[in-house]
Amino acid sequence: MSQDFIIECENVKFSYAGSQAYALNGVSLKVKRGEFLSVIGHNGSGKSTFARLLNGLLEADEGKITVLGLDVSDSKNVVEIRKHVGIVFQNPDNQMVASIVEDDIAFGPENIGVEREEIGRRIDWALKAVGMEKYRESTPTRLSGGQKQRIAVAGVLAIKPDVLILDESTAMLDPKGRREVIEVVKRLNKEEGMTIILITHFMEEALLADRAIVMNRGEIAIEGTPEEIFESGEILETYNLSLPRISILSQKLRGAGMRIDNVLQPEKLANQIVANMQNKGIYGGQSSKPDKIAINEQGEWDIDVKDLVFTYSKKSPFATKALNGINLHISEGEFFGIIGHTGSGKSTLVQHFNALIKLPQAEKKYKAKKPKKGQLNPVISSIFVGQFDLGNKKCDWRALRSQVGMVFQYPEYQLFAESVFADVAFGLKNFKKDISAEELEQAVRESIEVVGLDYNEIKDKSPFDLSGGQKRRVAIAGVIVTKPHILILDEPAAGLDPKGKNEIMELLHKLHREWCKTVIIVSHDMDEVAENCTKAAVISNGSVFACDAPYKIFARSSELNALGLDVPLTSKIAAQLETQGYIIESDCTLSDFAEKVIEVYSGGKTNAQ
Amino acid sequence: MLNDVTFGQFYPAKSVVHRLDPRIKLLSLIAIIVLLFVANNFYSLALCAVIIFSAIIASQVPFKSVLRSVKAIIFILIFTAILNIFFHRGEHVFFEYGVIHITLEGIIFTVFLICRLFFLVMASSVLTLTTTPVALTDGIESLLKPLTLIKFPVHVLALIMSIALRFIPTLIDETNRIISAQKARGADFESGNIFKRIAAIVPILIPLLISAFRRADELGDAMDARCYTDSKKRTKYKKLKFGLRDLFTFFIFAAFIAGVVLFNIYCYDICPQIYEYIKVY
């Protein structure tokens, strides 16, 4: 053994009980002290299994793993090894044991018998390392995803490990939370010299490391520096991975003859574009305007919201205002995006659309209050969805809900029936009690097929035996089976790998074309909204900040940043280029933006179409 | 359905009672409960009332919140009251018909019983309103410490309580989400007969159970990864501090206990005197 290598693996093989295939099939790897290593791979490539083997949560079938010279397979070493190798898992909620932040962080040190005063010092240090000093006495449930995950990191840091493994710890977070966690990890590596193993399916994260490994089917497919991984380009697609958006953009620009190196920061790409322009003698310029998107006329199934107010836990000391006077109109036929960060009230808002949250005047017990003398009449919220008046007690809620489908976040977690058929049929049977068996089968077949699954193969399977992506599709099928006019999805792509994300968005476009008139997605991913939506609304602090075509919204990038919201990659680069005198007006999608840049680069409007 | 379940009863404020050591609060509650049932005359009971009401005032919790918990047992109160008034036997009979007797002893016993139950619920709600569930479990753990001598796994129990507390809000959120999701698919939880309603719970229960197991699995891994073992060498970071105000409370309660005991000895049965008094009229 040598002191340089903190972890050494030799031809490690592992298979799960009851499975023939190896989840890991001969992995050999050495990790240097102080190294920042990233492991990339699609879901099921064996990367999480690998993490669990490194600290003895799983035991290898073959091969040898040593950590600091200690053999992991020796059960006497396990606790000692876990002191040196800490893991942060995917779901921050499921790794905390206490309801107070400091108690939770104390859990690890308590387990290994650290003295009381020292635990106090370690809590101080760990919270400082993750930038959460202010939250020492908070309750984790009231924190955002990114904050919770930083607390989970602190909980592992307090054990003072030499190696920190992040097992897809950013997969469930919003872009802001992801950045927060990655910042912390980078700092720990640089300032504390901690060895980091970052397991992820986001290329842009993986490429921050000193060295990256691409895993596929339990084997190391590519190993090298981030630059080398970049170069491999199209091979990555065969491993179900995709290049970061910025690299795709760079490729497009290179295709037009620009000299662009692979970079990850939008500013650097913008600088390269500027350099290219100036080399060609183009100083300043303006692209053509984006095509006007047809404005939808008043349709039959418009959603109209006026002065919507909503308070959680009313009349308790914990009352919090979620919505503060929302005015919004969503026309029929839109692919509508609702943007806002966690806690902005966007989920609360959409739950009003199918009366999961009823307006107060629609509740059975509601009695109109007479305003006191000298007071104005209180503002009454109103919502209309097509012909349905959601403020009316006599509104037919059942009919409304069959026309406004709602897919919640992680919809696969609400599957319950013994077969896929029964689960998909559940909604339809609820809405149409007297439906005939043939009609039911017909509808279920159609909806399973439209989400891209094979009806005959899947209908009798238990939904719990399916893969993650299939489960999500079945859950969506279970909502669209009633053929709703309006389909609402809360974070439809949450937790998926990039390929899964693209597939789900493609599915939604297909549904928008063939199945439902209006599709509404709630999202915190600006790129997702820019690429897909025809119109979007930004919700901030319980009110509508803007409602317009995405490119018009993202043109106000400084205002959005002030609200703590991000803008898509294209807007970032466009803003940077504008300071140099190049005005690129695209509709914010990657392909349109690339076209417009190339248009300016090739000297104004060249295409004579 | 679960919208109104705010987790725990805790009423945030910064009163003296809020800041007391949870252990002294727990012990005081036990003392009050014992004394309420030991008290055999009106003076003792009045003393208990004085202590409870001063605690409520000192806690700065609105009286309404305290009464809300009494509301929950009002039915039991009325029921026991009726039972006792009509069926309690005694020598000073006012009214008699078949098995029904109304006696002076019966009335006095009933008044006592109601006061006891009433005060008991109020006293316990003062504890839960002023103490966070976390502080309560810390207090219970600390009070149970001596049981480690007979090899009772106190820290395991404490960890179980802590994890339960930690996951209650998470699981309530999850339940709400599943209910909403199934409602959006037309599930109906509010109408139909009892069998239909029970059947309607299945689509909530199964996903919830599956998710709870999944969480338990992941939590187990996370705890293992953070070096959790059943070793005896475990240390404890949090220490409850017994301060001056706790000592002060301790003395008040000592005086209170002494008071009730003294009243019990010197002012015992006042029932006959009342009867004499009524007879005069």
- CB contact set of A420 (below 8 Å; sequence gap of 6+): A448, A458, A459, A460, A461, A462, A463, A466, A474
Instruction: Give the number of A-B residue pairs with CB atoms closer than 8 Å.
Output: 157
Contacts of B224 in chain A (CB under 8 A): 57, 82
Q: Which residue has the higher pLDDT, B90 or A555?
A: A555
Residue of A99, A168, A483 best to disrupt the B interface, most CBs of B under 10 A:
A99
ipTM score: 0.86
Q: Is the CB of residue B105 less than 8 Å from the CB of residue B271?
A: yes
| For B62, nearest residue in chain A (alpha carbons) | A317
Mean predicted confidence (pLDDT) in A80-96 = 93
> C-alpha angle with apex A246: A241 to A247, nearest 5 degrees?
60
- CB contact set of B84 (below 8 Å; sequence gap of 6+): B106, B109, B110, B113
The nearest CA of chain B is from the CA of A156 a distance in Å of 7
Single-letter amino acid code for the residue at A597: V
User: Residue A338 above 90 pLDDT?
Assistant: yes
User: Residue B88 above 90 pLDDT?
Assistant: no
pLDDT bin (cut points 50, 70, 90) of residue B29 is: very high
Give tens-digit pLDDT for A16-58. 887 778 888 889 999 999 999 999 988 878 888 999 999 889 9
Structure tokens at A400: 């409304």
User: Residue A499 above 60 pLDDT?
Assistant: yes
| Contact assignment for A82 to B233 by CB distance below 8 Å | no
User: Residue A502 above 70 pLDDT?
Assistant: yes
Q: Is the CB of residue A338 less than 8 Å from the CB of residue A546?
A: no
pLDDT bin (cut points 50, 70, 90) of residue A288 is: confident
The nearest CA of chain B is from the CA of A58 a distance in Å of 10
pLDDT bin (cut points 50, 70, 90) of residue A450 is: very high
Mean predicted confidence (pLDDT) in A187-214 = 90
Q: Output the pLDDT for position B143.
A: 92
Q: Output the pLDDT for position B277.
A: 67
At A135 the three-state DSSP class reads helix
Q: Output the pLDDT for position A509.
A: 93
User: Residue B76 above 60 pLDDT?
Assistant: yes
| A268, HSE (Cβ side, Cα atoms, 13 Å) | 9
pTM of the model: 0.84
Mean predicted confidence (pLDDT) in B246-270 = 85
The nearest CA of chain A is from the CA of B125 a distance in Å of 16
Residue-wise DSSP of B60-116: T--HHHHHHHHHTTHHHHHHHHHHHHHH---SSEEEEETTEEEEHHHHHHHHHHHHH
Structure tokens at A179: 């950045």
Single-letter amino acid code for the residue at A108: G
User: Residue A370 above 80 pLDDT?
Assistant: no
Q: Is the CB of residue A537 less than 8 Å from the CB of residue A339?
A: yes
Q: Output the pLDDT for position A293.
A: 62
Q: Which residue reads 């003072």 in tokens?
A: A160
User: Residue A588 above 90 pLDDT?
Assistant: no
Q: Which of A152, A409, A430 sits opposite B186 (nearest CB)?
A: A430
Q: Which residue has the higher pLDDT, B89 or A452?
A: A452
Q: Is the CB of residue A340 less than 8 Å from the CB of residue A539?
A: yes
Q: Is the CB of residue A534 less than 8 Å from the CB of residue A549?
A: yes
Roughly what angle, to the nearest 10 degrees, separates helices A116-129 and A145-157?
A: 140
From A448, A442, A443, select the one nearest A420 (Cα to Cα).
Answer: A448
Q: A100 — contact with chain B (CB < 8 Å)?
A: yes
User: Residue A406 above 90 pLDDT?
Assistant: yes
Q: Which residue reads 């009433």 in tokens?
A: B118
Contacts of A52 in chain B (CB under 8 A): 221
User: Residue B2 above 60 pLDDT?
Assistant: no
User: What proportion of chain A, given as a percentage, has pLDDT over 90?
Assistant: 38
From A30, A1, A25, A27, select the one nearest A15 (Cα to Cα).
Answer: A25
Give tens-digit pLDDT for B77-86. 899 888 888 8
Segment (H or E) for B52: helix B42-59
Single-letter amino acid code for the residue at A106: A
Q: Output the pLDDT for position A157.
A: 95
Greatest mean pLDDT range, A270-274, A344-348, B13-17, B213-217: B213-217
CA–CA dist B85, B74 (Å, integer): 16
Q: A159 — contact with chain B (CB < 8 Å)?
A: yes
Q: Output the pLDDT for position B271.
A: 58
- CB contact set of A422 (below 8 Å; sequence gap of 6+): none
Q: Which residue reads 């305003």 in tokens?
A: A371
Instruction: Determine whether B27 is exposed, middle or buried from the number of CB atoms within 10 Å of its CB (0-12, 13-18, 19+).
Output: middle
The nearest CA of chain A is from the CA of B198 a distance in Å of 15
Q: B172 — contact with chain A (CB < 8 Å)?
A: no
User: Residue A441 above 70 pLDDT?
Assistant: yes
Q: Which of A99, A113, A316 sits opposite B6 (nearest CB)?
A: A316
Contacts of B163 in chain A (CB under 8 A): 97
Q: Which residue has the higher pLDDT, A506 or B230?
A: A506
pLDDT bin (cut points 50, 70, 90) of residue A608 is: very low
| A385, HSE (Cβ side, Cα atoms, 13 Å) | 26
Mean predicted confidence (pLDDT) in A274-291 = 81
First-to-final CA distance of chain A: 68
Mean predicted confidence (pLDDT) in A78-102 = 92
- CB contact set of B144 (below 8 Å; sequence gap of 6+): B152, B154, B157, B158
Q: Which residue has the higher pLDDT, A264 or B271?
A: A264
| Contact assignment for B227 to A156 by CB distance below 8 Å | no
Q: Output the pLDDT for position B179.
A: 92
Mean predicted confidence (pLDDT) in A75-101 = 91
Residues of B (190-209) whose Cβ lies below 8 Å from A:
202-204, 206-207
Structure tokens at A17: 């009980």
Q: Is the CB of residue A176 less than 8 Å from the CB of residue A341?
A: yes
pLDDT bin (cut points 50, 70, 90) of residue A295 is: low
User: Residue B56 above 70 pLDDT?
Assistant: yes
Distances (CA, A) of A161 to A84, A304, A379, B149, B253: 4, 55, 57, 34, 49
| Contact assignment for A406 to B237 by CB distance below 8 Å | no
Q: Is the CB of residue A391 less than 8 Å from the CB of residue A381?
A: yes
Rounded mean pLDDT of chain B? 85
Rounded mean pLDDT of chain A? 87
For β-strands A404-407 and A486-490, DSSP reports them as: parallel
Residue-wise DSSP of B100-161: EEEEHHHHHHHHHHHHHHHHHHHHHHHHHHHS-HHHHHHHHHHHHGGGGGGT--HHHHHHHH
Q: Is the CB of residue B208 less than 8 Å from the CB of residue B175?
A: yes
Give tens-digit pLDDT for A122-145. 999 999 999 999 999 888 887 888
| Contact assignment for A94 to B218 by CB distance below 8 Å | yes
Q: Is the CB of residue A303 less than 8 Å from the CB of residue A544?
A: no
